[in-house]
Amino acid sequence: MRHLALLGSTGSIGTSTLAVVQAHPERLRVVALAAGRNRELLKDQCEAFRPRCVSVGSQEDAQWLRAQLSYQPELHWGPEGLLACALHAEADTVVAAIVGSAGLASTEAALRAGRRVCVANKESLVVGGALMHEAALAGGGELLPVDSEHAALHQLLDGRDPASIREVRITASGGPFRDWPLARIQAATIEQALNHPTWKMGPKITIDSATLMNKGLEVIEASVLFGLRADQVAVTVHPQSQVHAMVGFHDGSYQLQVCANDMKLPIQYCLLYPDKQPGPVAPYPWEEARAWTFEAPDLDRFPCLGLAFEALREGGTAPALLNAANEVAVAAFLQGRLGFWDIQACNRDTLSRLPAEPLGSLPQVLDADQAARRHAEGWVRART
């Protein structure tokens, strides 16, 4: 039996995780739930799973929740609440699904405390990947990726001699603007950018998919997780989103991982690893007719992907700078303060103007994150 602390329970990863828990009641139990502002859904989740530890965004939300629940769990709020859930005495597995760099400290603490961390918060690895590995080594924690592409790579690379690997390729759907000309992309609206053709996700990650920044962050994540150089990680656009990753070997052959485009599959893989059990997703229907297509990404139309490779090659705090600038720019776009093409411009300006430093400590990374946010906010204000 695995005892779960789920950080980000009301988001798309969180709700999918709870569906996997429901499919395996004999193997999985929820002991802690943490969410932000969606207190109504959190209340329903608490009543359904009865966690002993619960965290919300604010003290006011905690007071509201206490009055609503039919039982009395430990109630926390804010960043301290995330840590309380991640470090709950009964939790041996933490699903880190808090969006953005806000999940960095709780992910690091859980690894240092010896937990299995199923990381859906790619920013934790992008911003402080070496520190996450250091925390896992120091505390005996285990790091498993929830992103479909990285869970696929984990399956393909598990037990492989690293010397046999020539490259890995992660796939991208191409987002809603895959076939759009540059001029049309530059003028894209919020509604158009949120209309993803394949996945149903939160607004921030959906915009990142439209710019291909999400794939850029995943490139950095793959490098961190599997110890790969920038020239060993590539992206292939695959609109059908059914081949999730490929591994190329020095003899010229490739192996591919294929499954339905349902996040419950990689979530279950992480939670139950190394076991593979029937779950809430049907086996892949090979008898159905289909066609798969593959193409190279266009960095002129999707420059955020190129910026991510640039940050990966530069190393140190460069990925943290890029990630922070992107969070600010995407938020400003969703608020109507920036145009779609301004996202990449803000990211480029921040990455070019702020010097990257060798990665040393979590406080240093957080300082770099804040410096990039201040710079990006200033850039946004100058254009609004």
Strands 254-258 and 243-249, by their bridges, are: antiparallel
H/E segment holding residue 211? helix 203-211
- Binding-site positions for Mn(2+) read 147, 149, 218
- Binding-site positions read 10-13, 36-38, 121-123, 147-149, 173, 196, 202, 209, 214-215, 218
DSSP class of residue 14? H
Distances (CA, A) of 357 to 101, 216, 219, 361: 18, 20, 20, 11
Q: What angle do CA 373, 108, 317 make, to 5 degrees?
A: 40
Q: For the chain, how long is the longest CA-to-CA vector?
A: 63
- Binding-site positions for NADPH read 10-13, 36-38, 121, 123, 202
- Alpha-carbon distance of 199 to 49, in angstroms, equals 26
Amino acid at 27: R
Asked if 234 contacts 157 with a C-beta cutoff of 8 angstroms, the reply is no
- Binding-site positions for 1-deoxy-D-xylulose 5-phosphate read 122, 148-149, 173, 196, 209, 214-215, 218
H helical segments located in 11-121? 12-23, 39-49, 59-68, 78-86, 104-112
Q: What is the DSSP string of 273-332?
A: TT-----SSPPP-TTS------B---TTT-HHHHHHHHHHHH-TTHHHHHHHHHHHHHHH
Nearest CA-CA partner of 246 in 237, 330, 120, 345? 237
